[in-house]
Amino acid sequence: MVLTVTALVFIGLLMLSMPIVFSLGISALVGLVLSGVPMQQLASSLVGASQNWVLLAIPSFVFAGSLMERCGMSNALVELARAMVGWLRGGLGMSVIVVSYFFSDICGSKMAEVSALGSALVPPLKRAGYRAEDAASLIAAGTAMGMLVPPAIFMIVISAVTNQSTVALFLAGFIPAAVIGVCLCLLVLVQAHILGWPKDSKPSWARLGHAARHATVPMVIPVVILGGFYIGAFTATEAGAIVALYSLLAAKLYYRNVSWRDVGHIAYESGVMTAAVVFLLAVATVFQYLMGISGVPVLLGELLAPLQSSHWLFLVGVAAMTMLFGMVLEGLPAAVVLIPVVFPIAVKMGIHPIHFDIVQTAAVGIGLFLPPMGVGLLMALRFAEVSVFQHAKYYWPYLLALLAGLMLIICIPELSLFLPRSAGFVR
């Protein structure tokens, strides 16, 4: 009864266009009152959830990603990707996937990535003869894959929610992202021959060298992140500070197209976004407590019991739920509401926590770009000037490629565990 009323309040507030964090908080408060729980629990949960030191990495990465987008680092990465794969048939489409991998590594924000790649790549894709629907699909699928490439803010939050090492989770994401990227590139190669997509350019070592030189500044960041984490040189929070300082120096000394006023505005926006994330995490903790005392974990355990005969079936079932949550509630609410309830069941089954987190991260990434309500997909469609229904019939091959990559990650845990295990973070 309590959960039913809480859910109805939550849905009603969402229908009134109230922000998710407030809808979640008010419905949780109503649930606590109906359950007769002392209100001290509200303050205790809010304070406890916001005091995780890992969350200090969020403002640094958000600041760095916003500053890099503002100073135009994405343009250099686009040119490098086109020089690398543009000589293949459908090379311009493949370059969207390649640059999504690169740019995810320095941006950290999915919406910023969609904005940067949509504005930089949709016009040339249309000029090259790609349908607007395919241009939007490439941006959406590439960015969905990029959720697995650190320093995604979602990975920091899920590591805090499941009490896992952020560095181990960052390392675990590189190979699974590459696997999904390969699936998408193979799809583009097939589509290019069926639809007659042209080659972007002729192979040229001179162009590749020129593009590589101009992309050196942004490409330093993924090398530093991967190398530093692998040898244990710094933590995720320290990495955020290093990347933020590097992006500031690059913007002021190399690109020289960002004023101090812009830097201050970006810092302010980063603080606001960080506050929103931390507030959401704190409010969701109250909601998790309410679900715990209402027996939701037991209910979900019974619901998922038929799938517990094998790890991959269980992960597929949970991933499907996560994708739906990611589509309806966006990424972070999906993480802080659903995953803490399901995570103990996975651990009890013997699923490795890092593997579980990576699967859920990939599922949330796909959910953000799942029609008809995925917020990331809607943003990509806006850049391509395509409606949801007009786009849907052209998007399904890309969804199948994303799901094929997700199945490989689920069925081969070592894809997620190889790098963190070789670096000594997991056994």
- 195 versus 261: the higher-pLDDT residue is 261
Task: Name residue 239's amino acid.
Answer: A
Specify the DSSP element, H or E, that contains 303.
helix 296-304
| Most confident stretch, 46-55, 266-275, 279-288, 395-404 | 395-404
Q: Where is average pLDDT lowest: 206-215, 323-332, 375-384, 415-424?
A: 323-332
- Tell me how far CA of residue 107 lies from CA of 117, 151, 219, 411, in angstroms: 11, 7, 12, 29
- pLDDT of 318 > 60? The answer is yes
Residue 101 pLDDT: 86
Task: Name residue 127's amino acid.
Answer: R
Closest CA to 222 of 149, 156, 288, 162: 149
Structure letter (DSSP) for residue 197: P
pLDDT tens string 238-253: 887 888 888 888 888 8
Tokens 């990611």: give the residue: 326
Task: Name residue 377's amino acid.
Answer: L
Residue 160 · residue 171 · CB < 8 Å: no
Q: What's the pTM value of the predicted model, to 2 decimals?
A: 0.82
Average pLDDT, integer, range 179-183: 94
Contacts of 146 (CB under 8 A, 6+ apart): 100, 101, 103, 104, 110, 113, 152, 177, 365
Task: Name residue 51's amino acid.
Answer: Q
- 79 versus 49: the higher-pLDDT residue is 79
Q: Which residues pair with 89 in a beta bridge?
A: 199
b/e per residue 214-241 (b: at least 16 CB within 10 A): bbebbbebbebbbebbbeeebbbbebbb
- 362 versus 69: the higher-pLDDT residue is 362
Tell me how far apart the alpha carbons of residues 270 and 247 are, in angstroms, rounded to a whole number: 14
182: confidence class by pLDDT, cuts 50, 70, 90: very high
Residue 105 pLDDT: 59
- pLDDT of 15 > 90? The answer is no
Give the helix ranges, DSSP H, for 72-162: 73-85, 91-107, 110-127, 132-146, 153-161
pLDDT tens string 79-136: 888 788 877 888 888 888 888 888 775 655 666 677 777 777 788 888 878 888 888 8
User: Which structure tokens are listed for 266?
Assistant: 């970006």
Tell me how far apart the alpha carbons of residues 214 and 224 are, in angstroms, rounded to a whole number: 17
Tell me how far apart the alpha carbons of residues 419 and 200 are, in angstroms, rounded to a whole number: 34
Residue 119 pLDDT: 73
Could you tell me what percent of the chain has a pLDDT over 90? 14
Tell me how far apart the alpha carbons of residues 153 and 111 are, in angstroms, rounded to a whole number: 11
Contacts of 164 (CB under 8 A, 6+ apart): 158, 353, 354, 357
Annotated domain spans of the chain? 37-422
- 71 versus 347: the higher-pLDDT residue is 347
Tell me how far apart the alpha carbons of residues 335 and 346 are, in angstroms, rounded to a whole number: 15
Residue 300 · residue 341 · CB < 8 Å: yes
Average pLDDT, integer, range 254-277: 84
Average pLDDT, integer, range 157-181: 89
- Tell me how far CA of residue 290 lies from CA of 301, 325, 331, 412, in angstroms: 17, 18, 21, 35
- pLDDT of 145 > 80? The answer is yes
User: Which structure tokens are listed for 264?
Assistant: 């201050």
Average pLDDT, integer, range 376-388: 79
Residue 355 pLDDT: 95
- 16 versus 136: the higher-pLDDT residue is 136
Residue 381 · residue 391 · CB < 8 Å: yes
| Most confident stretch, 23-32, 48-57, 379-388, 417-426 | 417-426
Tell me how far apart the alpha carbons of residues 254 and 259 are, in angstroms, rounded to a whole number: 13
Residue 246 pLDDT: 86
pLDDT tens string 329-371: 666 776 677 788 888 888 888 899 999 999 999 998 898 888 8
Residue 201 sits at the vertex; the CA angle it makes with 195 and 205, to the nearest 5 degrees, is 140
Q: Tell me the HSE value of 260 on the side-chain side, using a 13 A CA sphere.
A: 0
Contacts of 198 (CB under 8 A, 6+ apart): 89, 92, 128, 129
61: confidence class by pLDDT, cuts 50, 70, 90: confident
Peptide bond into 372 cis (omega under 30): yes
